[in-house]
Amino acid sequence: MSPKFTTMEAPEISSDIQRLLPDQGSFELQNDGPGKVHDWHRHSLDEELFVISGEVLLFWTDQGEYREKKCPKGTWITLSAGTVHGSLAAADGAVYMIRPQDGRTAQTTFLSPDEHPHPTPALT
């Protein structure tokens, strides 16, 4: 089977978006619907997130202690490799950029439910 090609006008990339890009490599643009949960997991690389719209509740453990923070539009989050964490999109959802270290693809490891260090938050 051969690839299919279509030509269309490409949108302009604003300078605001360009400054979010890694120097080399890729990033992910995540669109989470209301209440979307990314359950407890960790990454093999450092990771940065930037909330473009909506709000995300980031939850994590720090030396075995549960922490959480509401991250509205404009919040820049930096996570070290190995940080056990998860996220919950707010009632209006969230769009955010994920930029792994050096634009590389991180290995993501999700914890099994019996390994969760704390119950996963839910929308209230």
Q: Give the position of tokens 């605001």.
A: 16
Output the pLDDT for position 62.
95
On whether residue 114 sits in a domain, the answer given is: no
Distances in whole angstroms, Cα of residue 61 to Cα of each of 1, 21, 49, 69: 47, 28, 17, 12
For residue 69, tell me if it sits in a domain: yes
Going by their DSSP bridges, the two strands 47-62 and 28-32 should be labelled as unpaired
Residue 31 predicted with pLDDT over 90: yes
pLDDT category, 107, cuts 50, 70, 90? very high
Note whether residue 13 is domain-resident: no
Q: What is the pLDDT of residues 38-87, one digit of tens each?
A: 999 999 999 999 999 999 999 999 999 999 999 999 999 999 999 999 99
Residue 11 lies in a domain: no
Residue 2 has pLDDT above 90, yes or no: yes
Q: Is 80 a domain residue?
A: yes
- Residue-range definition of the domain harbouring residue 39: 20-104
Q: What is the CATH number of the domain that holds 27?
A: 2.60.120.10
pTM across the whole model: 0.90
Residue 46 in contact with residue 104, Cβ under 8 Å? Answer: no
What pLDDT was estimated at residue 24? 92
pLDDT of 16 > 90? The answer is: no
Q: CA angle 24-94-64, nearest 5°?
A: 80
**Residue 45 placed within a domain:** yes
Q: Over the chain, what is the mean pLDDT?
A: 95
**Is 68 inside a domain boundary?**
yes
Q: What is the pLDDT of residue 91?
A: 97
Residue range 12-36: mean pLDDT, rounded: 92
The tally of domains found in the chain comes to: 1
Does residue 98 register a pLDDT over 90? yes
Whether 17 has a pLDDT exceeding 90, the answer reads no
The answer for residues whose C-beta is within 8 angstroms of residue 56's C-beta and 6 or more apart is 32, 49, 70, 71, 75, 87, 88, 89, 90, 94, 96
116 domain-assigned: no
